[in-house]
Amino acid sequence: MTIAEPMIQVTADTPRLEEMQVIYQRPEAITETYTHYCPGCTHGIIHRLVGEVIDELGVRERTIGVSPVGCAVFAYQYFNTDGCEAAHGRAPAMATGIKRAMPDKVVFTYQGDGDLASIGGNEILHACARGENLTVVFVNNAVYGMTGGQMAPTTLPGMVTTSSPYGRDAKLQGNPIHITEMLAMMPGVAYAVRRSMHSVAEIRKTKKAIKLAFEAQLKGLGLGIVEVLSSCPTNWRLAPSESLNFIRDEMIPVYPLGDFKIHDELKKRR
Amino acid sequence: MTKQLWEGNEALAEAALRAGAEAYFGYPITPQTELLEYMSHRMPELGLAFLQAESELASINMVYGAATLGVRALTSSSSPGISLMQEGMSYIAASEVPAVIIDVMRGGPGLGNIQPSQGDYFQMVKTVGHGDYHAIVLAPSTIQEAIDLMYDSFELAFKYRTLVTILADGSLGQMMEPVEMPPFKEWPEERPNWALTGAAGREPRTISSLYLGAERLEILNLRLQEKLAEIEANEVRYETMMTDDAEFLVVAFGTVGRIAQSAVRQARANGIKAGLFRPITLWPFAKRELDAVIGKVRGVLVVEMNAGQMLEDVRAIAKGRVPVQFTGRMGGTIPLPDDILPALDTLIASVRSRNGNKPEPALARELNLMEK
C-alpha cells in the first residue's frame, strides 16, 4: 500500500526543509499503512498512543504485541514491532507464554471487550492473579464490533444491539461487567485504571495511563491494565461526533473513569 | 549406560528436558499429573520456564506464545484436557510454529475414568482441531520407546514447523520400567529466522493464523498440504514381528502393540502363522508398508483399546482384499492375549469358511494342530 504525497503548495515564503522543525510525526512503532478501522472509530488513536509510548520508552526493538480476535485482530500489522495473533480471548495466556519464556521482552496485549471480558475472562483473571508482567490495553466499546454489533458483556442496560433488539434487560441478559474494578482487587495487578477517548483532554490522560501500564511491566511490578472507553459509530448507528457524546453521556455514568489501583512505585513516578 | 527404573510420566518429562525443552505449561489431570509435578521441580532446577496454567485452554496458548519465540515448548495432558486444547492446536498448526504435546490417554467419553485407553486415536490422528492439517503422532509401546520418541520430537517439530504429539496411555504413564536416559541434546543458541525475538535491526515479524481472502488462505492450505506430503514421505515409522511368512496379521499400536507381541508368540507356539504390524507413527501412517504386508496374508486382526478407530485406516488400506476383523476393550480395560487369541481363531475360521472349506471347529487353533 502506498500513501499519497501531501499536497503542499511551495511558495517563496515556504521554509526550506532543513529549516523546518518536526513537531508531529508518525511514531516509529506504528507502521506506515492504512488501517481497516471504520471512520470515527477511536481504535486508530489508541494504536497511536501505544506507539508513542513504545517510542518514548525506547523499547520497540524488544516489544512483542499480542493481537486479539475482534476489531483489533490486525493490530499486529499496525505496530512496527514483532507481533502475533491469539485465539479469541487467549491473548493473556499467549502473552504469559512469551513473557515466561523470554522475560526480557516487553509484551502487551490489545484486546476488546468481547475478547477480554467475555470469552477470555478466565485468561485475564489468572494472568492478573499470577501478577504476570504484562501490559493490557483493554478497549471497551460496549459491543462486538467485528461481527456487526452484537451485545457484549459490557453492553449498557437498555442498549439496543443486533442481538438485544429490545434493549439489554438485566433480568434476561445480565448486567454490564466492570472488569477493571474486579481485576484491581488482585495483588498481582500493579496498575488498573479506566480512561476515555471522547475528548482531547481524555485522550492525553489515556496516553499517560498506557505509559504507566508499560512502566509497571518494565519495573517488574505486575500486570498493568488500561480500560479505554472507545467509540463504535458504525454499530452504535451514530455519527462520529455523536459517538463521542455517547461515551461521555451514556458510557461514563455506567463505567466511571478513575484509578482503581496504582502501585506505590508508580505513584512516585506520577 | 546403566539402566534406571523410571515411571512413564516422569521418564517422558526428563526425556523432554534431555531433548532440549525450554518451557512447559500444563494443568493437572490423571493419569499424567506426575509429568507436571516432575517438571515443577526439575525445570526451575535447570533454569527453565515452568508454569501451572489455569486450564488446558490456557496451557496450550502459553505453549503457542512461547513457540512463536522459537522456544522449545511443550505441554502434557490426558484425553479430556486434549479435547480442550484442540482450539490452540489448530492455531499452532496454521501459524506453523513448532510445539510438542503429550497425551496420556484415559477412558472416555466424557469424564470417563483414569484407566488407560486408546480412545483418542480419532481426535489426535484425524481431527486435532478444526481445519485441514495433521500433527505428527508418535505412539510408543514401552517407556524406553516413549523416551526415544520424545527425544526426537523437538527436532521433528522444528524441522517441519509443526505440531508433534506423543500418544501414550495411562498404563505407559503409570508403570515403571528399567530404561536408559539419553544425554542432554545440544541446540544452537540462535533462534530460527521466523521467530519473534523483537524487531531489533530488522523488519518486524508477525505470526498469525488469519488469512482474509479465499485465495490467500488457499495458498496457506496448499503449502500445509505440501508439508504434510513431505512428512508422509520421510517420517513414517513402524515395526513388524514375524511378518515374513505370516498368514494372519495382527495390527496394533502403543501398549496394545506390545501386548499383541505376546499374543502373536503364543499363536505361533500354537502353530498359527501369525505376525504383528505395529505402527509407531499414527500420522503419517505406514500405508505403503502395511499395504505390502496385507498383500501377503489371508486375514487381518486389528486390536485396540477402543471400539475400533485405527481399524478404519487398516480397512482402507486392505481395500477388501482379505477380511479385517477387530477386537478391543473399552472403558479403561486392557485387551490381553486371552482376548486376542480367540479373536484370531474367529478370524481364521471365517477366512477358511470364506474360502469354501468345510465349517471350522470352534477352535481353529486345534484344527491347525490337527493339520500338522
Put simply, whether A80 touches B (Cβ < 8 Å) is: yes
The grid coordinates listed for B127 are 481431527
Give the Cα separation of A85 and A79 in Å (integer): 12
Put simply, whether B175 touches A (Cβ < 8 Å) is: no
- A82 closest CB neighbour out of B57, B198, B209: B198
Put simply, whether A77 touches B (Cβ < 8 Å) is: yes
Is the pLDDT score of B359 beyond 90? Answer: no
CATH code, A193: 3.40.50.970
Q: What is the pLDDT of residue A150?
A: 97
Residue A148 counted as domain residue: yes
Q: What is the pLDDT of residue B28?
A: 98
Q: What is the pLDDT of residue B141?
A: 98
A109: containing domain: 37-269
Q: What is the pLDDT of residue A270?
A: 55
Confidence band for B43, pLDDT divided at 50, 70 and 90 = very high
Q: What is the pLDDT of residue B127?
A: 85
Give the Cα separation of B156 and B143 in Å (integer): 20
Give the Cα separation of A116 and A136 in Å (integer): 10
Give the Cα separation of B140 and B145 in Å (integer): 5
Count the helices and strands in chain B (H runs, E runs): 13, 15
Q: What is the pLDDT of residue A268?
A: 81
Residues B190 and B328 in one domain: no
Q: Which residue from A minimizes the CA distance to B207? A: A84
Put simply, whether A81 touches B (Cβ < 8 Å) is: yes
Q: In chain B, what residues touch A98 (CB-CB under 8 Å)?
A: 65-66, 68-69, 196
Closest residue by Cα to residue B23 from B68, B83, B63: B63
Tens of pLDDT, residues B47-92 = 999 999 999 999 999 999 999 999 999 999 999 999 999 999 999 9
3-state secondary structure of B102: strand
Residue A89 counted as domain residue: yes
Q: Which residue from B minimizes the CA distance to A85? A: B208
Tens of pLDDT, residues B128-145 = 999 999 999 999 999 999
Residues B210 and B299 in one domain: no
Tens of pLDDT, residues B285-320 = 999 999 999 999 999 999 999 999 999 999 999 999
3-state secondary structure of A3: coil
Is the pLDDT score of B121 beyond 60? Answer: yes
Residues B71 and B211 in one domain: yes
Confidence band for B363, pLDDT divided at 50, 70 and 90 = very low
Sign of the torsion angle spanned by Cα atoms A197, A201, A207, A210: negative
Put simply, whether B68 touches A (Cβ < 8 Å) is: yes
Contact partners, residue B309, CB within 8 Å, separation at least 6: B118, B119, B121, B122, B125
Residues B348 and B263 in one domain: yes
Put simply, whether A60 touches B (Cβ < 8 Å) is: yes
Number of domains, chain B: 2
- A122 closest CB neighbour out of B55, B205, B210: B55
Tens of pLDDT, residues A205-231 = 999 999 999 999 999 999 999 999 999
Give the Cα separation of B269 and B344 in Å (integer): 14
Residues B283 and B185 in one domain: no
Put simply, whether B25 touches A (Cβ < 8 Å) is: yes
Residue A265 counted as domain residue: yes
Global pTM reads: 0.93
CATH code, B310: 3.40.50.920
Q: Helix B143-160 and helix B8-18: axis angle, to 10°?
A: 40
Residue B199 counted as domain residue: no
Residue B142 counted as domain residue: yes
What are the 10-residue block averages of pLDDT along chain A, 270 residues in total? 64 81 93 95 98 98 98 96 98 98 98 98 98 98 96 97 97 97 98 98 98 98 98 97 98 98 87
User: Percentage of chain B surpassing pLDDT 70?
Assistant: 95
Q: What is the pLDDT of residue B362?
A: 44
Residue A186 counted as domain residue: yes
- A122 closest CB neighbour out of B54, B95, B207: B54
| Residues 201 through 220 of chain B touching chain A, CB cutoff 8 Å | 201, 204-210
Sign of the torsion angle spanned by Cα atoms A135, A141, A143, A149: negative
Residues B57 and B159 in one domain: yes
Residue A4 counted as domain residue: no
Tens of pLDDT, residues B231-267 = 999 999 999 999 999 999 999 999 999 999 999 999 9
Put simply, whether B61 touches A (Cβ < 8 Å) is: yes
Residue B200 counted as domain residue: no
Give the Cα separation of B86 and B92 in Å (integer): 10
Number of domains, chain A: 1
Rounded to the nearest angstrom, the gap between the alpha carbon of residue B163 and the centroid of all alpha carbons in its chain is 12
The grid coordinates listed for A123 are 485468561
Pure H helices in A14-133: 43-57, 75-78, 91-101, 113, 121-130
Q: Identify the H or E element spanning A109.
A: strand A106-112
Can you list the pairs that B296-299 forms with residues at least 24 positions away whose Cβ atoms lie under 8 Å? B296/B243, B296/B246, B297/B246, B297/B247, B297/B248, B297/B249, B297/B322, B298/B247, B298/B248, B298/B322, B298/B351, B299/B247, B299/B248, B299/B249, B299/B323, B299/B324, B299/B325, B299/B347, B299/B348, B299/B350, B299/B351
Q: In chain B, what residues touch A64 (CB-CB under 8 Å)?
A: 68-69, 196, 198
Q: Dihedral angle at the C-alpha atoms of B42, B45, B46, B49, nearest 10 degrees?
A: 70
Residue A134 counted as domain residue: yes
B318: containing domain: 239-371
CATH code, B34: 3.40.50.970
Tens of pLDDT, residues B10-40 = 999 999 999 999 999 999 999 999 999 999 9
In this structure, which amino acid lies at residue B282? L
Q: What is the pLDDT of residue B361?
A: 44
Contact partners, residue A131, CB within 8 Å, separation at least 6: A186, A187, A188, A189, A190, A222, A223
Give the Cα separation of A233 and A47 in Å (integer): 18
Residue A252 counted as domain residue: yes
Q: Is the ipTM of this complex over 0.85?
A: yes
Residue A117 counted as domain residue: yes
Tell if the CB–CB gap between A98 and B65 is shorter than 8 Å: yes
The grid coordinates listed for B44 are 526451575
Residues B327 and B246 in one domain: yes
Sign of the torsion angle spanned by Cα atoms B91, B94, B97, B100: positive
